[in-house]
Chains A and B, each alone.
Chain A
Amino acid sequence: MSSSAENPTLTAEITKPSTEIATETAQSAKKITLKTSDDQIFEVEESVAMEFATVKSFFEDAPSSTDTVPLPNVPAKPFSQVIEFCKEQIKFKANPDETEKKRSNSEFVKEKTNEDLVEMIPVANYLEIKDLLDVLNQAVADRIQNRSVEYVRSFFGIDNDFTSEEEALLREEHAWAFEDVDED
């Protein structure tokens, strides 16, 4: 990467006869090293790593860098699941099929536990992966939609700061909204 940046004209001439194939193999071979907050090293294909807007802009600022990219706030467990998602996404970039993409996305979240989703959302947010964040947030919304107040408190780790009088008053105001709620 560093040599081609120094002399782009020359590189272009040399690779001319088989441009597309040559650059593709060169790109897919290229790996980027990422280090998670719990000191795990991930070697990720460049095309996958470029799905992470945060990592992409890191390389835009320093295109010739071969350093390991530190990812503070990103633990290894959710990160490996994020990589799994992005690998799938890349397939649809080359071959757009909205129905198949939707099916694949819903398959992806279906297998995940609530804990998985809660751990992945901050990672997707930090790495700025818009599509994944959209899929995860919708999945959480779908899971809590018919749930009780208590379920939501434990889902998000929220403490109840109402007095029992205050809470009773709020519940009374919208009593009908507490009907037909799924069992916890």
Chain B
Amino acid sequence: MAASICSSFNNDMVIDILARLPVKTLLRFKSVSKPLLSLITNPKFISSHLHQSTKNSSLVFHFSHNEFPVAMLYYTEPTTLHAVHIPSSMKDYSFKPRIHIKGSCGGLLYMELFFGCCVFHYGLWNPATRQFKKIEEPQQCINLLSEGFCHSSKINDYKLVRTGYFLYPATRRTRYDRRRVDSVVRALVFSWKKDSWRTVEDGALLGGSFSDPVTVKGDLYWKVSGERNYLANEELVLAFDSSNDVFRRIELPGLINQSNPSYTTTITEFKGSLGLFVFLEYSTSNSGFDFWVLNESRTGGNIRCCWRRLLTAGTLSKIGRPISAWRCKIILKNLMGENSFFLYDPISREIIDVPILSDDVYDYVETLASVDGTK
């Protein structure tokens, strides 16, 4: 990149301007000149573009019906849905796949594709570059407890994590026998850069019932309700450090576990920290919710955790279940209508309806990153 890109500006100025552009524009500008092409495909530029693009995050939804299986909602116009192009490489059978998004991080979507009744595979999708790539399944069979997809900007890698009990063949003849299930929980971690899976053993891993994962600054978090062998009925958070494949446990704020068991909790990302909604699950009158934020400070190898109650939202004019935080707004699932959402602004107390019927919603940012990390 030593060569000067243009006569008017030095390269740093050009980089600063280009990092602000959408992916579609940059793909077009690849054909401006050779120095510009080499800049746009440079991994360092791709990272700074992703960093810049997190300022313009949008939401991605997927639907059960087939017409527009995936749609985006941009922060700048939160009332209009945009259909997302489905790449032809996704349709390698004669019929359309049913798409199920399972994770969104660093601009890539981790997804499951169903073809007909029992043919399915997993893949990574970059909606901005319209690329799709299948992920090869690991050799090791696993009784799945949880799954998560994350992006570590520190080591510039995307990771797919599965935890559960490994299954082993009972005899040489049968491949796997459900009776020979391991008694400890292990993890399988897929690296985008290496395009391969590895086994991770970690004392912090545990069995139980897992929430959907949340990613915070590239790390994964699940809320776990412990099962018999582990902390019966107690809830805690399991975290995965994506830069070194290490798991850790985090306790919930003390009073929640002791207090009335009818309280339900949901974890979310909130401005670079882990957030926690606490609300009454079965209340018919809408009693609002509490919102807690986790402060994790690292000193040497130790991580100190401290929960702080950030907000108590009183009665809302609409009944909803808090799903996640999006920028300064809270996304709630409307409990009166079917599968629809609304946004709540805790400061202005304003409510914005999101006019859609969707099964799931994910935070999304654009990236130039390839779906193939080995290239």
Contacts and interface: CB of A to CB of B under 8 A. Distances in A.
A17 interface: no
Interface in A118-145: 118, 121-122, 125, 133, 137-138, 140-141, 144-145
A1 interface: no
Given A122-B13, A137-B16, A153 B32 contact: yes
A8 interface: no
Nearest to A156: B6
Nearest to B36: A158
B5 A156 contact: yes
Interface in B10-55: 10, 12-14, 16-18, 20-22, 24-25, 27-37
B83 to A, nearest CB: 14
A118 B14 CA distance: 11
A122 B21 contact: no
A3 B36 CA distance: 54
A184 to B, nearest CB: 13
A171 interface: yes
B9 A162 contact: no
Contacts of B130: 176
A121 B27 contact: no
B34 A162 contact: yes
A5 interface: no
Contacts of B35: 161
Contacts of A145: 21-22, 25
22 contacts: A121-B8, A121-B9, A121-B13, A122-B10, A125-B12, A137-B17, A137-B20, A140-B17, A141-B17, A141-B18, A141-B21, A144-B21, A156-B5, A156-B8, A156-B14, A158-B5, A162-B33, A167-B31, A174-B27, A174-B28, A177-B25, A177-B27
A152 B20 contact: no
Nearest to B4: A158
Contacts of A158: 5-7, 32-33, 36
A173 to B, nearest CB: 8
A181 interface: yes
Contacts of B7: 156-158
Contacts of A144: 17, 21, 25
Report, nearest first, the 6 A-B pairs whose CB atoms are least far apart: A141-B20, A156-B6, A177-B27, A170-B31, A174-B27, A157-B7
Nearest to A140: B17
A118 B20 contact: no
What's the interface size class on A, roughly?
A: 20 to 34
Given A125-B13, A152-B32, A160-B33, A177 B24 contact: yes
A123 B18 CA distance: 19
Contacts of A157: 6-8
A181 to B, nearest CB: 7
Nearest to B20: A141
Contacts of B9: 118, 121-122, 125, 156
A149 B31 contact: yes
A106 B31 CA distance: 30
A157 B12 CA distance: 16
A125 B27 CA distance: 27
Nearest to B15: A137
Interface in B89-105: none
Nearest to B26: A177
A178 interface: yes
A148 B28 CA distance: 8
A161 B17 contact: no
Contacts of B17: 137, 140-141, 144
A146 B29 CA distance: 11
B53 to A, nearest CB: 12
Contact of B30 (A122, A125, A174): A174
Contacts of A159: 33
B21 A178 contact: no
Interface string B158-172: 000000000000000
A71 to B, nearest CB: 17
A161 B33 contact: yes
A149 B6 contact: no
